[in-house]
Structure 1
Amino acid sequence: MSKDLDTLLTALYVFVDDCVVLPRTGRGRRPELTDSELICLAVGQVLLRFDGERRWIRHIHSAPQWRSMFPRLPGQSGYNKRLRTAYPLVCKTILALAACCPSFFDDLWITDATPVPCGMSKETVKRSELSGHANYGYCASHSRWYWGLKLYLVCTGDGMPIMWCLADPKIGEREVLAALLDNNHHLIGERQILLADKGFSGEEFQALTESMTLRLLRPDRKDETYRNGNLGGVRQWIESVNQTLKNQLGLERHAGRTPAGVFIRVAQRLLALAAGIWHNWQTGVTSKRSLIAFDH
């Protein structure tokens, strides 16, 4: 484990313990692994590219520096159960980290949807517990069909996640994004600008964003008069965020086989991205989305 990762996890533990986790009340035995430690373990697992919980727990047990930081560790099954039940805490931590960064108050946010494959064979599709949630969709960037879900992400210019959801790829993109914005309308500022793809066009969607005091900025379609142009340069921001999630954080290697498993593994990767960006803001790193210092 590098000193940068050690520093990140220590700072994250203090932040979560002070600002996110509520004190436990009532009767019952307190868990040996606290919620703050669980969040740090989840972030460390993703940054070090351990896709499976079994290898991750085995690695921690064999590394003295990890045992000194986390002396009370559950087994693989216990860690997996704690992660699934901590889904609300993970989402709360992501938003708390975002609110502490200056980019959260920027006028410009960006959004896009990216595929989250969940199966590679027909037999997997037949037996999977994701049936009824996942579906077949088309990935334009790879020119191929996939079976799984689609991640809708609204983030700041530096990649800090603000709001997100997983949806059936058969559902229209405008419909899903409209529901996502409506459920999180309290996060939208008075003069917020949302940079989106040209697929989010349409008078109804435009009227919806205007009713939320949200200005939609998107590339022009071929059958439209000139308004914004193709916005190719700024559109690369969200594409680079998706690439960070896929390449460095293993979004497509989530290995989830149930709805709860997929949801928490995607949230875990967004949490690791948020923690890295937050720490880079705290330490003054120029490239806020750079995670190279933490992945070894």
Structure 2
Amino acid sequence: MSKELNTLLTALYVLVDDHVVPARTGRGRQPLLTDSELITLAVAQVLLRYHGERRWIRHIHSDPQWRAMFPYLPKQSGYNKRLRAAEPLLCKAIRTVAACCPSWFDDLWITDATPVPCGMSRETVKRSDLAGHAGYGYCASHARWYWGLKLYLVCSGDGVPIMWCLANPKIGEREVLAALLDHNHHLIRDGQILLADKGFSGKEFKNLTEQMTLRLLRPDRKDETYRNGNLGGVRQWIESVNQTLKAQLGLEQHGGRTPAGVFTRIAQRLLAMTAAIWHNWTTGATSKRSLIAFDH
């Protein structure tokens, strides 16, 4: 474990324990592994690129450093159950850590949807517990069809998640984003700019964003008069965020086989990225989304 990772995990544990996990009340035995320690372990797993829980648990049990930091280390089955039960705490932790970043108050948000494959074979599709939640969608960047979900992310320019959700790929992008914005309307400030791709065109969607006091910016379609141009340079920001989630945090190697399992693993990766950005802001790092100091 690097010194930077140790510092990040210590700071994250303190923040989560003070502002995310509620104080324990009432009678009962104190858990051997607290929720704050569980969330810290979940972030460390993703930053160190252990996509599988079995390998991660075997690693921390064999490393004296981890045994010194955590008085009790769970086994694989207990870790999996505790992590899925902590789903609300993971979501709250993402919001809490994100709000500590200066970019949380930026006037520009960017949004996009990226595929989250959940199965490769026809037998998986027929037998999976995700049936009814996942569906077939087309990934334009890889020019292929996939079966799974779509991650919709609204974030700041450096990748701090403002709001996010998972949806069936067959549902229209404008419909999902409209529902996401409506559910999180309390986060929208007057005059907030939302940068989207050309798929979020249409008078109805534009009127909806104007009602929410959002200023929608998107690349011009070929059949439209010139307004904003192609916005290629700025649109690369969200592509870079998605690439960080996929290439460095293993978004497509999540391994979830149930709705709760997939949601928890995606939240785990978003929290790890948010924690890294927050730490880089705190230490004054030049690249706010750099994970190089934490992945070894």
Which band: TM-score by shorter chain? Answer: over 0.9
Give 1:12's aligned residue.
12
CA distance in 2, matches of 1:277, 1:50: 20
Q: CA RMSD in A?
A: 0.7
SS at match of 1:194: strand
- Unpaired runs of 5+ residues, structure 2, are none
Give 2:289's aligned residue.
289
Deviation, structure 1 residue 29: 2.2
CA distance in 2, matches of 1:149, 1:114: 9
TM-score of the two chains, using structure 2 as the length reference: 0.99
CA distance in 1, matches of 2:158, 2:88: 24
Give 1:104's aligned residue.
104
Counterpart code for 1:181: L
The equivalences for 1:227-242 within 5 A come to 227-242=227-242
Give 1:84's aligned residue.
84
1:25-55 Cα deviation digits (max 9, x unpaired): 2232221111111111000000111111111
Larger CA deviation: 9-18 vs 232-241: 9-18
SS at match of 2:293: helix
CA distance in 2, matches of 1:87, 1:20: 12
Give 2:121's aligned residue.
121
Counterpart code for 1:213: T
Counterpart code for 2:128: S
Indicate yes or no: 2:213 matched with 1:213.
yes
Deviation, structure 1 residue 19: 1.8
SS at match of 1:131: coil
Indicate yes or no: 2:30 matched with 1:63.
no
1:141-181 Cα deviation digits (max 9, x unpaired): 00000000000000000001111000000000000000000
Give 2:158's aligned residue.
158
Counterpart code for 1:57: I
1:226-247 Cα deviation digits (max 9, x unpaired): 1100000000000000000000
Give 1:52's aligned residue.
52
SS at match of 1:292: coil
CA distance in 1, matches of 2:216, 2:83: 36
Identity fraction in percent: 83
CA distance in 1, matches of 2:208, 2:116: 27
1:78-104 Cα deviation digits (max 9, x unpaired): 111110011110010111111111101
CA distance in 1, matches of 2:175, 2:27: 44
SS at match of 1:293: coil
Give 2:258's aligned residue.
258
SS at match of 2:215: strand
The equivalences for 1:184-223 within 5 A come to 184-223=184-223
1:60-83 Cα deviation digits (max 9, x unpaired): 010001111112112111111110
SS at match of 1:147: strand
SS at match of 2:6: helix
CA distance in 2, matches of 1:182, 1:24: 33
Deviation, structure 1 residue 24: 1.4
Give 1:149's aligned residue.
149
1:234-262 Cα deviation digits (max 9, x unpaired): 00000000000000000000011111110
CA distance in 1, matches of 2:165, 2:30: 31
TM-score of the two chains, using structure 1 as the length reference: 0.99
Counterpart code for 1:3: K
Counterpart code for 1:39: I
Give 1:43's aligned residue.
43
Indicate yes or no: 2:8 matched with 1:21.
no
The equivalences for 1:271-282 within 5 A come to 271-282=271-282
1:200-230 Cα deviation digits (max 9, x unpaired): 0111110111111111110001111111000
SS at match of 2:180: helix
SS at match of 1:294: coil
CA distance in 1, matches of 2:120, 2:29: 42
Indicate yes or no: 2:221 matched with 1:226.
no
Deviation, structure 1 residue 23: 0.1
Counterpart code for 1:64: P
CA distance in 2, matches of 1:169, 1:47: 28
How many aligned residue pairs are there?
296
